[in-house]
Amino acid sequence: MFLRHIFFVIATLISSTVLSPAQGAPVFDSSDKIAIDQMYERYFKAFVEQDYKTLRECVQAPFVVMRGGAMQTLESVDAITTFYQNQRQALAQRGYDHSKLLKTQITPLTADSALINKSYTRYKKDGSTLEQGAALYPVSKSSGMWKLRGVIGQEPEYFGKLLR
């Protein structure tokens, strides 16, 4: 079931991209990685600081959320913003103060889509660890800008693991 959901997310990203190598189609290169890193940093800072205006600029609907095997599709930027406000409020109730990014992997899927894999630690106001986590973020380029298209929760011990 989980793999079917992942396939759906990837198929959605790829179907929004038209590739034609014979016509000199664009390719994913280092400038795309830099742009994705910069967009993610803006998103990350906006989430921590509860800057939902900036966060809205980093996301695009439809937006897929997968946690614990359950999948939800958010059909508007307003719905995405509400999702993140609810997530942030729940963390605040647990004493959340800030997060620190640990590892990053970016996997290009097409010239206009990729998966970001991030691991992180969240901290309480007293400096103690609240939790460790990881997530996959499908991203796509729309109108020349990279945007998050979803978030897929991941157990930290599976970060970067590929089964062959």
Q: Name residue 70's beta-bridge partners.
A: 67
Single out the residue of 63, 57, 44 nearest to residue 133, CA to CA.
Answer: 44
Q: pTM score, two decimals?
A: 0.83
CATH topology of domain 2-9+26-155: Nuclear Transport Factor 2; Chain: A, (3.10.450)
Q: What pLDDT does residue 23 have?
A: 58
CB 28, CB 128: distance < 8 Å: no
Q: How is the chain split into domains, by residue range?
A: 2-9+26-155
Single out the residue of 151, 128, 159 nearest to residue 65, CA to CA.
Answer: 151
The tens-digit pLDDT sequence of the chain (164 residues) is 444 445 445 545 444 444 444 456 678 999 999 999 999 999 999 999 999 999 999 999 999 999 988 999 999 999 999 999 999 999 999 999 999 999 999 999 999 999 999 999 999 999 999 999 999 999 999 888 999 999 999 999 988 887 77
